[in-house]
Amino acid sequence: MVPAPAKPARVFDLRSSTPERWLQIVLADFDAFMLDHTLCERKASAMGMSLVAKYPDRALILDDLIAFAREELEHFHIMYRLVAERQLVLPSDEKDVYVGELRKLMQGRDTEGLFLDRLLVPGIVEARGCERLRMVTDALPEGDLKQTYLEVTRAEARHHALFLRLAKRYFSETRVEARAAELLDSEARIVDQLPLRPAVH
Ligand SMILES: [Fe+2]
Ligand SMILES: [Fe+2]
């Protein structure tokens, strides 16, 4: 019997594309972008571990979340070394308006709905990060920096597919897809209203 072909991995389908103008702003102040990006890697790692802390009894996601947090920490370390080489100083955290607005979408959800959103929203953040890092990677001249960005971007592509898979370990495909569609519509509205900055969001 011929085995059935593997199902293609589902990924979050962003509803809007980042304008080219954003890339121009990033390239015009690449140090600022790198510093912001470095902080994003650290925050992603912390977010993974905060999910581990919040849901210690959800055994079906823990191993993957710990691996995710480690990989993001590794990205943070790689990026930290790059910015340190350039003699840049990491800024202290400032409020991330994009993530703040996405968090508001989770308000008023019941326990299970909140659990679902806590998996889907980071997946969407990863998807947007991946879209933008890919634009940056493509624009960079050949060299070590482009190579590093290429590796990081490939990992981000895996990450957003991962969160969708994790959600489906606890929720039906229909429920996951329906909620993801709502969140993706809202994310496009949010991102389109934010000013363009030399930053990931
Ligand atoms: Fe990363
Ligand atoms: Fe990531």
Task: State both tokens at 179.
Answer: 């909620």
Separation of first and last alpha carbons in the chain: 49
Task: State both tokens at 142.
Answer: 């050949």
What pLDDT is recorded for position 10?
60
| Rounded Cα gap, residues 201 and 128, in angstroms | 8
Higher pLDDT, 24 or 1: 24
Ligand nearest to the CA of 128: 2
What pLDDT is recorded for position 8?
45
pLDDT digits (tens, 9 = 90+) for 84-101: 999 999 999 888 999 999
Q: Is the pLDDT of residue 118 over 70?
A: yes
Ligand nearest to the CA of 156: 2
Q: Is the pLDDT of residue 190 over 50?
A: yes
- Phi-psi sector, 87: left (phi>0), alpha (psi -120 to 50), beta: left
pTM score? 0.92
Kindly give the distance from the C-alpha atom of residue 2 to the centroid of ligand 1, in angstroms, as a whole number.
Answer: 38
Q: Is the pLDDT of residue 4 over 70?
A: no
| Rounded Cα gap, residues 26 and 93, in angstroms | 19
Q: Which residues contact 126 (CB under 8 A, 6 or more apart)?
A: 12, 44, 156, 159, 160, 163
Kindly give the distance from the C-alpha atom of residue 95 to the centroid of ligand 2, in angstroms, as a whole number.
Answer: 19
Kindly give the distance from the C-alpha atom of residue 157 to the centroid of ligand 1, in angstroms, as a whole number.
Answer: 9
Kindly give the distance from the C-alpha atom of residue 21 to the centroid of ligand 1, in angstroms, as a whole number.
Answer: 23
> Which domains, and CATH codes, for the chain?
20-193 (1.20.1260.10)
Q: How many CA atoms lie within 13 A of 35 on its CB side?
A: 15
pLDDT digits (tens, 9 = 90+) for 98-112: 999 999 999 999 999
Could you tell me which of 80, 119, 99 has the C-alpha nearest to residue 201? Answer: 99
pLDDT digits (tens, 9 = 90+) for 124-181: 999 999 999 999 999 999 999 999 999 999 998 899 999 999 999 999 999 999 999 9
| Rounded Cα gap, residues 124 and 48, in angstroms | 14
Look up tokens 């019997």; give the residue.
Answer: 1
Contact by Cβ (8 Å): 124, 187 = yes
Q: Which residues contact 119 (CB under 8 A, 6 or more apart)?
A: 51, 61, 163, 166, 167
Kindly give the distance from the C-alpha atom of residue 189 to the centroid of ligand 1, in angstroms, as a whole number.
Answer: 24
Task: State both tokens at 55.
Answer: 């849901």
| Rounded Cα gap, residues 120 and 64, in angstroms | 15
Q: Once rounded to an integer, what is the mean pLDDT over residues 29-33? A: 97
